[in-house]
């Protein structure tokens, strides 16, 4: 999608502080971190939200979920972490490209919001 900021980051059209990347996903540091470690993990394929997934997307998003443990280890999140997805207007999804916030390196409180 031409006007999607996350697609532009994935395509290297916008610079970002990349923490991890492979052929399917990109992980980059959040510009307004809510924890000492706060990265966004996105598929390189544009999927607007979890509500827009298709049958063909389940392997890609399963792969992304599988890589979370590796990214958490890379970031040194030894005492745990939180993985968050905001979906839709009430879920406060501000960028219409499915993404997951990985937060850690501090005690995270509950409820989150």
| H or E element at residue 38 | strand 37-43
Based on the residue annotation, tell me whether 97 is a catalytic residue of this protein.
no
**Beta strands 18-21; 81-84: pairing state:** unpaired
Catalytic pick from 29, 46, 97, 99?
99
Residue 59 backbone phi and psi in degrees, to 5 = -65, -45
**Could you tell me if 28 and 18 are in contact, meaning their C-beta atoms sit under 8 angstroms apart?**
yes
How far is CA 112 from each of CA 51, 56, 86, rounded to the nearest angstrom? 22, 31, 12
In whole angstroms, what is the distance from residue 2 CA to residue 9 CA? Answer: 11
Active-site positions read: 99
């Amino acid at each position: 999608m031409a006007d999607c900021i996350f697609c532009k980051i994935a395509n290297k059209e916008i610079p970002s502080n990349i923490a991890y990347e492979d052929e399917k996903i990109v992980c980059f540091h959040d510009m307004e971190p809510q924890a000492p470690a706060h990265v966004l993990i996105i598929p390189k394929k544009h999927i607007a939200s979890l509500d827009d997934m298709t049958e063909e997307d389940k392997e890609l998003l399963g792969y992304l979920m599988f890589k979370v443990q590796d990214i958490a280890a890379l970031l040194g999140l030894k005492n745990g972490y939180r993985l968050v997805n905001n979906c839709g207007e009430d879920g406060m999804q501000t960028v219409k490209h499915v993404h997951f916030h990985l937060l850690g390196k501090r005690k995270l409180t509950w409820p989150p919001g």
